[in-house]
Every structure is written in structure tokens, then in C-alpha cells.
Structure 1
Amino acid sequence: MENQNASLSRQYDIDWIRVLATMGVFLYHCSMFFNPFPWHVKNNQLDSSSILVFSLFVGAWIMPIFFAISGINVSYALKKRQTSNYLKERLIRLGVPLVFGVFILTPPQIFMERMANNQFSGTFLEFLPHYFDGIYLDFGGTGNFAFFGLHLWYLLVLLVFSFITLPLFKIVPNGRTFGIMHLYILPLILIITGLIKTQGLGGWDLVFYLVILVFGYYFFSSSAFKPILKSTIKLHFILAAITSALYIVWFMMAFPQPGSVQALIFYAVRTLNCWSLLLCIFFLADKYLSFSNGFLKYASEASMPFYVLHQPIIVILGYFIRELSWPIPVKLIFLIPVSFTLIMICYHFIIRRVQLLRFLFGMKGHENKSITFSKNKGVTIHGNPANKN
């Protein structure tokens, strides 16, 4: 019983990674307003130096770390919950904010994109009937209906992965023994996934994310992972530094032609970069962030609504400042703190205080309160501390 309880004890370092990664996504999307990559709304001047370097570095690992954490969370969820409860929670915590985002938060972003690209003229209310004209497939396209919620594609993909991986996880549960060789075999599997092309999202293919989630379930959640990682961490830091420099410089100087041998080598370098950075992040979090405090509790609860809300705020703000004559550093200094402040005001004073909004943004109900309905007694509010994963 002690071993089981130990295996189910909360890992605060994982909570810290999730919170910091959410902030990383926020900063990454702020950089998308300025870098040369296609995006919903672009500044009138673009930066191909420091901001691009930041985007390349963060983009290499930011979404994979979310899927790795998701795999770890699945391993704990399936140990604590029955299958039906697990699937129900997935549908509510992922599906509800996804649907809310598709129909409420996404239309303003598509409207801003169409206006910025001179693809529509008129008011937002005049645009709304056109939101269902065609399927939105890429930046600057002609379709408007983004069924995946734009940046909320992560919720849709994770929801689908939760269902398709369940049979595997039930048949082959985690808890297997891992050795040092797995740290070298697993990235080779990721490199091989580069030969499979399905749909690219957030810089990587869906198959890549699926493999990362499976690794999270079986390997990153294993009790043997952290001791093995600690014994080999110097190599991972060296590899992370070398591959980061090689990947970024190669990208900026001579991006290889798709399908060429150079492109395959480039993908292998980028994959090793992602893998080594993930390992470094897990090591640093375990060493320095294995604790809890009031800030972590607050930020952990805020991470989902912050993620759901952050891009619409950035896009709307970016739209209104895109043609101003301000220098890029001034716009950057304006966009980041103002966007962050607006998001946190919406969360702290509105979303977290309104039960319906908590539900729509994927949050659990207020702590110490739950509502039950009875024909005889009507509505009853009673204590029910939130059960945090």
C-alpha cells in the first residue's frame, strides 16, 4: 500500500512545468505577431533576428512538453479512476472548452485575420454569418469555420488521443522496467516518425505527438526515469546546446528543400534537440521545483483558462497596433504585459468566480461546494473539496 501511495503522490515539478509551459506558449504566440512565419495577424514590420531565434527555440519543444505531461497525467488518472470516469472527465475538461472556443473565441480571430488580409470588409456582426463559409485550413485561406478552435487544436488532438490510446494503456499498463538504453532508443523512434506524414500542427506531425504522449505514459511516469536521467544529464545538456545552435543556425541560413537528404538530417537534428530539451526540462524541474506554494496552486488552476483565452487576446490587441509606427521593441513591450494583464483580469475577476464560466473554461467547480438536485429537497449546496489530479 505504501508503494502504491508513493507512486500516486503528486509531483509538483510536473505542475510547475505545465504552468511555465503555458507562459511559454503565451510568449511564443506574442512572438508570432512579429516573426516571419504566417499567422493570423502580423505586424507591419517583421523581425528575422532575435525574435525569430526565440520562436525557433521555443517552438522546438513547447507543444511536445504538453503531450509528455499529458501522458504522465494519464498514467495517474487511470490508476485513480475507472475507465468510464476517466473518459467522462476527458470529454468535460477538454471537449467543453474546445466547443466554447470554436463558437465563441474563434470567430473574432478569424474576423481579425480576414480584415487584416483585406479578405472582408464590414463589422464583426456582419461577418458572423460568414463564419460557417467553408473549412478553415490555414492562415490566409478562404474557409472560415475553424472546427479545431485554432490554438485549441491541442485540446481536440488530446481528446482524440485519450480515446484511441485507452485500449493500449489498458492492455499494456505502465510500470515496466526501463534502463539507460531507453534514453537513446526512444529518440530514434521519434526520428523514424518523421517518415510518416499526416497533419502538421504546432511544428510537429500528429504521429510525433502521439508517440510523445505514449512515452509520457510508459517512460516519463516510470519510477526509474528520474534516476536514469540524473545519471546521464550532462550528456543531455551538451546535446541540447549543440543541437539548438545547429538547428537554429541551419534554419536561418539555408533551410533544406523538403524531401532532400539534408531535410532528413535537419529533421533528425531538430528531433534530437526537442528530445534533449525535454529531458533537461524534466531534470531541472525535479531538482529545483519539487515543492508547492500558494502561487503554484493559483497558477495551476488558472493554466487551462489562461491557455484557452490567451491567443484571442493577443490577436485582437495585435490587430489594433499592427499599423502603428511604433518600433518593434515598443510594440513587444506593449503587447506582452497588456495581453497578460487583460487575460489575468478576465480570469481572476470573472472566470474563476462564475460557475458557468469555470465549466466552459475546463475548470472544476468551486472548492468546498457542490450542487445536488433533489425533487423533494430542491437544490442543496454542500462541502465537496475539489479532487485535484
Structure 2
Amino acid sequence: MENNNNSFKRQYDMDWIRVLATFGVFLYHCSMFFNPFPWHVKNNELDSEIILVFSLFLGAWMMPIFFAISGINVSYALKKRNISSYIKERIIRLGVPLVFGVFILTPPQVFIERISNNQFNGSFLEFFPHYFDGVYLDFGGTGNFAFFGLHLWYLLVLLVFSFLTIPLFKILPKINKFGIMHLFLLPSILFVGGIIKTQGLGGWDLVFYLIILIYGYYFFSSQDFRNTLKATFKVHFILAAITSVIYILWFMKAFPQPGSVQEIFFYAVRTINCWSLLLCIFFLAEKYLSFSNSFLKYTSEASMPFYVLHQPIIVFLSFFIRELSWSIPAKLIFLILTSFILIMACYHFVIRRLNILRFLFGMKGNKLVIQRDHAQTNYAKYK
């Protein structure tokens, strides 16, 4: 999603993680059409087994990994920029696509949700003036204005976190030492942070994401962290495997009641699972993905537009196939392939070729496009 290649010239593994995790978000939202969780539009037949297991596993680490990478990104960005240029860069790269999504890409999704739930009867043009009626708070609610852009909440939260953490990052120096004790201390802090209930998004609380981002800045960006990770990978892998099985089976068989002792232990398992999976992902990426090629350069630049555009297209296609008599596997394959093709076609043939769209989707301007537009303007002027 967040794209800042200049900050990661030598850490190509971080680019690979971001690209693969963005594709994971895409698959996750495709699965939301079929699993039992509330969503904007649901299939006429739901799956509480294989697709649910896939959704639970992906949701355990998917959004935390983005905030971890964002913390690393901030670490490098603040080395290269002063505060004013850093804030400007955050607003352009995160704020612009967020505003674009809120007013252009989000209204059709809310409209489809209202139509699917029989909360509105009419065309999109008739619905659009009602988009500003009340604040959208959750699936199936009554308010329509989704100021956070639905799936674009990550951009809003990251933008706010970027501003809130500036004083902290400037006052407290970077921590270059990372030892074994931190592997136990940091997840303990995550667990304690989970007691604070603010707003849950993407399966975790905002405080959890903030702690992960701070970890990224102070710890995940240090070489000591990578060295310690290499020496302890087998432990993290075993923990990740065991806690994944316990978490998924516990969720599916006997989800604990809110406020119960079981819920505390359940959250502890989730926290250890997320932490262990993050460490495994970082280790495997550094070991096998510390290289660059033309595919990475292309997909790394495409990651933000892909993220911004993917859910509106998935929701749109889901709406039209929801009542068809196809089997779940047939609909799933159709949804994944068709959505992916449409998203990439929009990006490859339209978005990346027009600088105004590059700007709206959080990308840097293309010099070749600028030169072409300038040449076309001069040609029209002197024709």
C-alpha cells in the first residue's frame, strides 16, 4: 500500500512483503463475500469451513504487518526529510487517495450495501444525495457517510499516527540494541495494550496498531533485530504453527463470551499468534526476497492504486453474482480472476499513464507522462 521506494533502496524484502500483503488484502476481501462475517454484500450461500479458516489466518497478521512496515518506513523517512516535508509527503501519499476514495469510490459501495439489505430502493443517482445522511459506523447501520473510506481506514489511521508520533520519535532516540528479552517484552506490551478498548478495525484495536508501528520504528528497522530473529526463528515458527491451530479451532468451535476469563486467554493466544507470524514473515522475506527485479518495481508502484481500487470492484462484482446458482468455488474463482483483471487493467492502461490519476491514487508523477503532456500542450498551442 504505502509506497516509498526511495526509503527502501536496499531492503527489497520490505517491498516484497508490502506487495504480497496487498494481494493478501485482495484475497481476504474476496473471501468476505462468502464467509459468515458481516460485509457490504453477501453471497446467497456462505462457507463456515475452508474459506472461514483462510479468512481467520489472513486476518491474524495482515493489517499488523502493514503497520510494522509503516513504522520501518517512518524510520527511514525521518532520516531523509525534515518535519515539514515529512508532513507534506504524508498528506499527499495518504490524505489525497483517502479523500478521493471517500467521495468517489465509497458512495457506490454504501449504495450496494443499502440495496442488498433492502435499506434503499432506487438508482445510484437517487441515492447519492443521501450519502451524506448520518455517519457510517458499521455494516447494516443507518448512517451513510463513510468519512474513513471503508477499506481505506488504514490510510486515515496511518495519517493520524504519522502526526501523533512525531514528538515521540524526535524526543526518544532510535534503539539499535535488540536482544532475546525483547522477544518476550514486546508481545507482553501488545497484550497489555489490548486491554485498552478504543476502536476495532481489521480485527485489532487502534492501540494495537499504534504499538506495532512504534515497534517498527524503534526495533524492526534495526540490524540487531534481524540478527536476533535469525537465531530464534525455529521457536517463532513452532509458536506460529501451534497458536494458529489453537486460535482458529477455538474461534470456530467455542468462541469465548465477551468479558469472560476465556476471552483473556483467547486474546493472549491471538497476540502470540500475530507476533510469531510477523517475525516469521520478516525472517523468510529477508532470507528469500532480498532482491529486486522488474516485477517488483512494477508491482511495488502499483500496490497503492491496487489497494485503493480493489474493494470497490470486488463489491461491484459480488453484487451481480450474489443470487446466481453457481457453486461457491465457481463464484470464488470468477470473483478473484475477474476482479484482479479489472483492477490491473485500470491501473496499467489508465491510472499509471495519467498524472492526475497518479496523484489521486497516491503515486509520484511520471516524468515521461509529464513530458508527453507538455509536448501535447505545446503542439496544440502552435498547431
Q: What is the TM-score of this pair, normalised by structure 2?
A: 0.94
Which runs of 5 or more residues in structure 2 are unaligned? 1-6, 376-383
Q: Partners of 2:369 and 2:24 in 1: how far apart?
A: 33
Is residue 8–residue 15 contact of structure 2 (8 Å, CA) maintained in 1?
no
SS of equivalent to 1:120: coil
Letter of the structure 1 residue corresponding to residue 109 of structure 2: Q
Letter of the structure 1 residue corresponding to residue 19 of structure 2: V
SS of equivalent to 2:29: helix
Which runs of 5 or more residues in structure 1 are unaligned? 1-6, 372-378, 382-389
Which residue number in structure 2 is paired with residue 200 of structure 1? 200
Which residue number in structure 2 is paired with residue 385 of structure 1? none
Deviating 4+ runs (over 4 angstroms)? 368-371
Q: Does 2:10 match 1:39?
A: no
Which residue number in structure 2 is paired with residue 227 of structure 1? 227
Offset from partner CA, 1:126-183 (integer Å, 9 cap, x none): 0000000000000000000000000000000000000000000011131431211101
Query: What displacement does 1:57 show?
Result: 0.2
Q: Does 2:153 match 1:153?
A: yes
CA-atom RMSD, angstroms?
Answer: 1.4
Letter of the structure 2 residue corresponding to residue 290 of structure 1: S
Q: Partners of 1:179 and 1:369 in 2: how far apart?
A: 48
Q: Partners of 1:9 and 1:305 in 2: how far apart?
A: 21
Query: What displacement does 1:9 show?
Result: 4.8
Percent of aligned pairs sharing the same letter: 78
Matches within 5 A, 1:85-234: 85-234=85-234
Q: Partners of 1:265 and 1:121 in 2: how far apart?
A: 45
Offset from partner CA, 1:41-83 (integer Å, 9 cap, x none): 0000000000000000000000000000000000000001111
Is residue 72–residue 221 contact of structure 2 (8 Å, CA) maintained in 1?
yes
Q: What is the TM-score of this pair, normalised by structure 1?
A: 0.93
Which residue number in structure 2 is paired with residue 272 of structure 1? 272
Counting matched residue pairs gives 368
Q: Partners of 1:367 and 1:32 in 2: how far apart?
A: 39
Is residue 176–residue 223 contact of structure 2 (8 Å, CA) maintained in 1?
no
Which residue number in structure 1 is paired with residue 3 of structure 2? none
Cα gap change, 1:35 to 1:18, in 2 (>3 Å): same
Cα gap change, 1:59 to 1:8, in 2 (>3 Å): closer
SS of equivalent to 1:174: coil
Offset from partner CA, 1:238-278 (integer Å, 9 cap, x none): 00000000000000000000110000000000010000000
Higher helix share: 2
Q: Partners of 2:282 and 2:114 in 1: how far apart?
A: 40
Q: Does 2:42 match 1:74?
A: no
Cα gap change, 1:281 to 1:160, in 2 (>3 Å): same
Which residue number in structure 2 is paired with residue 23 of structure 1? 23
Which residue number in structure 1 is paired with residue 380 of structure 2? none
Cα gap change, 1:369 to 1:83, in 2 (>3 Å): farther
